[in-house]
Chain A
Amino acid sequence: MHSDSALIEEDVEEYLRAHEHKTLLRFITCGSVDDGKSTLIGRLLYDSKMIFEDQLAALESDSKKVGTQGDSIDFALLVDGLAAEREQGITIDVAYRFFSTENRKFIVADTPGHEQYTRNMATGASTADVAIILIDARKGVLTQTRRHSFITSLMGIKHVAIAVNKMDLIGYDEAAFTAIEEDYRAFAKGLDIEHITCIPMSALGGDNVTQRSAKMDWYDGPTLMTYLETVEVENLTQERPFRMPIQWVNRPNLDFRGFSGQIAAGRIEPGMEIKVMPSGKTSRVSKIVTFDGDLPEAVAGQSVTLTLEDEIDVSRGDMICASEHPAEITDQFEAHLIWMGDEKMLPGRPYIMKTGAHQVPVSVTKLKHTINVNTMEEHAARSLVLNEIGVCNFSAERDFPFDIFRDVPATGSFILIDRITNATVGAGTINFALRRASNIHWQALDVNKSTRAALMHQTPRTIWMTGLSGAGKSTIANLVEKKLHALGKHTYTLDGDNVRHGLNRDLGFTDAQRVENIRRVAEVAKLMTDAGLIVLVSFISPFRAERRMARRLFEEGEFIEIFVDASLETVESRDPKGLYKKARKGEIANFTGIDSPYERPEYADLTIDSNKMSAEEAAEKIVALLMDT
């Protein structure tokens, strides 16, 4: 039995040629048992002659046994599958049905309308082009209608048919239908559904399902079947920039290296420039390889294998993108999350995210709010339970390529997998990447001096060496840094002369400028200590007050003052840079020890007598002091 038996009878090859060019439409039906949903699907199958005689015989006998329609055929029995469900009279899962007409093949996702099964509806909707939402004409727009519409909108379905069913029970009343339509359209304004078609029907009687209803001659829109056959599902994904997540690297031998995947968006032809994300490496497509020969072009939806002109590193999970408009990469993003796990979702708990062919550990850093699927109201919450929907900030363990769900659903969607049970516990749609700057708050909370220091396995400190020019501060500091470095410590040296070449080049040697010189150096040393480093400061720093000021910037025990003591005679005899000579001649003004005072420290943590001790011994002593405390 089939809808165009005549053509099949006469010329089956002509029929096959015609049917070869059918397109595919996937749709979801939403409604509860009471809305007559199963009856509607049964009716579509029956009217499109997809039911065989043996099935019909079984249906007739079942209808009498367990049917709800007396001696008439109970179409609902055609679509209820599992034994347990049959007894309960409800569908508890997503079921897929198939039928076709001259123009299209249809795959119907049949999902239940009960509140606890948001999960199933989202699942069915994820692969649908169109949603049919049933409304009982006696009841109008109900809470469940809003719920179905919201999930439909959330899952990115742009075409919705509102099937106002059971018109027979309200006397095929046009005014009642119009009121429901207006009510629905007013509600749907707040959603992201672009095309809405309202159809008055009676699935039980077959009115406006496939046959135009004589009882509703006031209605001049399409029947449901006409709608399904003609609804234009814009192929927008083909217009988007090219995207293909790499599923598998095809390497039969050393001479061939292809990248296999299903094109998620756009089109591609040999010669086109591509960029591989997240690495950002570019090349050109050499060939589009298939079993049926190389293709001149391929478009979204096709599964192909690409070869590239250059030998670049590409592996599973990478995404081949149009070079000029590559996918974004991020490790922080906001998404809508539908929770499908029996255990609740907890922020901070790690899950595995699968997006494209990429798997990456993620956690929710912030549950911004949940959304009540019935009222669309937002509520604050600490966790998500089964069938709840929330808006969350996510943090991924590493960068991954993605698009915004609205732009390219195939690369903007993800599932979450529980690390222990391996169950699929969540489904998400990416709203946008979070700019890193907006995470300062989060960073400041969690990463601080002690976590940084812990990462470096050291106690951050500032070792402040004071003393006359030529006393050996820089030489000793240099040796100390070498020794610490050898011990695996992270260090930095701030040297008086070097700092005056850069940061403090605007400062001279007046007392005020010397104070400013020390202030700046002390602040820099503090930042570096905060970063976790061991900082060596080698500065004459002649005044006690400034050294005290510096010490006050640090925590107790963090600032170590070392006095490198050498007599004026000693340093004048060393005079490595010839500065004392110049000062004595009056060529340098305000030189410490000559015409500017040096205030000896009163409470240095360590005093090095460089008159007697070698630089090497002094360095040993300082390192020992650091390691002890």
Chain B
Amino acid sequence: MLFYYLQYILPLDPRSEQLLYMAAMNTLTHLQRLEAESIHIMREVVAECRNPVMLYSIGKDSAVMLHLARKAFHPSKLPFPLAHVDTTWKFRDMITFRDKMAQEAGAELLVHINEEGVKQGIGPFTHGSALHTEIMKTQALKQMLDHYQFDAAFGGARRDEEKSRAKERIFSFRSKAHRWDPKNQRPELWNLYNCRKHDGESIRVFPLSNWTELDVWQYIYLENIPVVPLYFAAERPVVERDGTLIMVDDDRMKLEPGEKPAMKKVRFRTLGCWPLTGAIESSADTLPAIIREMLLTKTSERQGRVIDNDSNASMEQKKQEGYF
């Protein structure tokens, strides 16, 4: 591999002695640097916060985040619980995978459901994506953070996901009411993170801030990290609605006249509530094939998410309201 690296650079730079010297200097690769940074961030939080938690959303980013956490504290067990906000509309495969991974990591798993929302029968089909997300996800998350009095919560968001995320700090401060004020965030210099806060305030921490989608997949490939099978192409029952392929994961989907689930070879680029997550037709059933498809694809990752489509600034508004 070194050969490849040298071969590329040598013709451009005649100072080969310097290059060989640099090769001997153990220059860290981009993934090694990202890994070390994420681990550093997690350790700072554990050292300085009273009651941290990791928001585990089961997707590929959470898979990487969990893996990094195990690395950060090895040989100790995770010094914080995993928490999952269950909207009751997650893919069944996700729930199975979640329980298996928590067990494997020897981690405590807290699952929170907004029971009030369940009583009111809130769901994406009946109430629309915006209200469903607000009540079953955003409200539920606040309830959980309040209930357990967590003062720091790790999330798997990345800056490359969306434009307003590009300016989000790694340590994002939230008021007692969990509000995010884009004008009142702390500058982050070097690797010196200011974790101090008043009682009742909390921090959302994003250890994967500087990772890109490709970094995440590449790391999963390199480190052999298990991911939910839904990322891999398989024959699944889908219905096409408003131009989006929805996988019928249980019997709660009322089919419109003319709609009929058809078996198609599909996979998912992102995972969330199944009625809100569009599948793509694909034959990529291995990690390299997924990465290949991702690299050659012509649309961005969040396009499969119904939540973003309202307006360009919608993610930012949701964030101010407390969405992760």
Contacts of A316 in B (CB 8 A): 47
Decide if B194 touches A23 in the complex (CB within 8 Å).
no
Complex: chain A residue closest to B223, CB-CB = A292
Task: Choose one: B30, B74, B167, B187; the contact of A105 (CB below 8 Å).
Answer: B30
- Once the chains bind, are A23 and B196 in contact (CB under 8 Å)? no
Q: Which of B39, B160, B291 has the most CB of A within 10 A?
A: B39
Least Cβ–Cβ distance between A17 and chain B, in angstroms: 6
- The answer on a CB contact under 8 Å between A252 and B296 is no
| CB-CB under 8 A for A252 and B313, given A16-B288, A262-B40 | no
- Shortest C-beta distance, A585 to chain B (Å), equals 80
A16 near B291 with CB under 8 A, answer yes
Interface stretch among B114-122, B149-157, B248-256, B298-306? B298-306
Q: Write the nearest CB–CB distance from A202 to chain B, whole angstroms.
A: 23
B299 adjacent to A52 (CB under 8 Å): yes
Do B18 and A232 touch (CB < 8 A)? yes
Tell me whether A303 and B75 are in contact (CB under 8 A): no
- A98 touches which of B26, B192, B212 (Cβ 8 Å): B212
8 Å CB contact of A95 from B27, B77, B166: B166
Which residues of the other chain, B, contact A9 by a CB distance below 8 angstroms?
A: 292, 296
Q: Does B20 contact A (CB under 8 A)?
A: no
A98-B160 in contact (CB<8A): yes
CA distance A105 to B214 in the complex (A): 11
Q: Is the CB of A54 within 8 A of B299?
A: yes
Size of B's binding interface in residues, CB under 8 A: 78
Q: How far is the CB of A212 from chain B (nearest CB, A)?
A: 14
Interface centre among A58, A247, A258, A413 (most CB of B within 10 A): A247
Instruction: Indicate whether A97 sits within 8 Å of B166 (C-beta atoms), given known contacts A52-B297, A82-B182.
Output: yes
Within 8 A of B (CB), among A1-37: 1-2, 5, 8-9, 12-13, 15-24
Q: In the complex, A53→B298 CA distance in Å? A: 5
> Complex formed: what's the CA distance from A240 to B242 in Å?
60
Q: Which residue of A lies closest to B33 (CB)?
A: A24
| Cα distance A262–B44 in the bound complex, in angstroms | 11
User: From residue B182, how far is it (CB to closest CB) to chain A in Å?
Assistant: 6
Tell me whether A248 and B291 are in contact in the complex, defined as CB-CB below 8 angstroms, given that A123-B189, A301-B28 are known contacts.
no
Complex Cα distance A94/B187, Å?
A: 9
B163 adjacent to chain A (CB < 8 Å) = yes
The answer to whether A96 has its CB under 8 Å from any CB of chain B is yes
A residues less than 8 Å from B22 (CB atoms): 232, 235
Segment of A349-357, A395-403, A468-476 in the binding face: A349-357
Q: Contact at B197–A252, with CB atoms within 8 Å? A: no
A434 to B237, CA, bound (A): 73
A-B pairs with beta carbons under 8 A, tally: 220
Is B9 within 8 A of A17, CB to CB? Answer: no
Q: Which residues of B contact A82 (CB under 8 A)?
A: 164, 167, 182, 316
B186 proximal to A (CB < 8 A): yes
A570 proximity list for chain B (CB < 8 A) = none
Q: In whole Å, how far is B56's beta carbon from the nearest beta carbon of chain A?
A: 18
Also in contact, A247 and B47, with CB within 8 A (given A12-B288, A82-B182): yes
A248 touches B186 (CB 8 A): no
Closest CB-CB distance, B1 to chain A, in whole Å? 5
CA distance A94 to B182 in the complex (A): 12
Q: Does B82 contact A (CB under 8 A)?
A: no
**Bound CA span A126–B192, Å:** 10
Task: Tell me if B244 is interfacial: C-beta within 8 Å of chain A.
Answer: no
A424 within 8 A of B: yes
Instruction: Decide yes or no whether B259 CB sits under 8 A from chain A.
Output: no
**What is the distance, in angstroms, from B262's C-beta to the closest C-beta of chain A?**
25
Contact of A250 among B29, B44, B75, B221 (CB under 8 A): B75
**Contact present for B214 and A100 (CB under 8 Å):** yes
B210-269 contacts to A (CB < 8 Å)? 210, 212, 214-215, 218, 221-222
Pick the contact of A303: B40, B182, B194, B221 (CB < 8 A).
Answer: B40
Chain A residue at minimum C-beta to C-beta distance from B164? A81
Q: Which of B43, B209, B289, B300 contacts A260 (CB 8 A)?
A: B43
Chain B 28-53, CB-CB to A under 8 Å as 1, else 0, gives 11111111110110011011000000
Contact A19:B160 (CB < 8 A) given known A12-B292, A127-B190, A413-B189: no
Partner of B188, one of A15, A83, A123: A123
**Is the beta-carbon distance between B29 and A289 smaller than 8 angstroms?**
no
> How far, in Å, is B69 (CB) from chain A's closest CB?
10
B46 contacts which chain A residues (CB < 8 A)?
A: 248
B297 CB contacts on chain A under 8 angstroms: 1, 52
Are A21's CB and B1's CB within 8 A? Answer: yes
In the A-B complex, the 7 residue pairs with the closest CB atoms: A24-B30, A12-B292, A303-B39, A252-B76, A291-B71, A291-B74, A53-B298
What are 22 pairs between A and B in contact, CB < 8 Å? A9-B296, A16-B218, A19-B218, A20-B1, A81-B163, A81-B164, A82-B167, A83-B316, A100-B30, A107-B210, A122-B187, A226-B12, A247-B47, A260-B43, A261-B43, A267-B26, A292-B71, A302-B32, A305-B74, A340-B187, A354-B192, A413-B189
Question: Contacts A290-B71, A301-B28 given; 19 further ones with Cβ under 8 A?
Answer: A1-B298, A2-B295, A21-B2, A23-B29, A24-B34, A52-B300, A58-B312, A94-B167, A126-B190, A127-B191, A230-B9, A238-B26, A247-B40, A247-B44, A301-B32, A413-B192, A415-B189, A417-B194, A422-B198
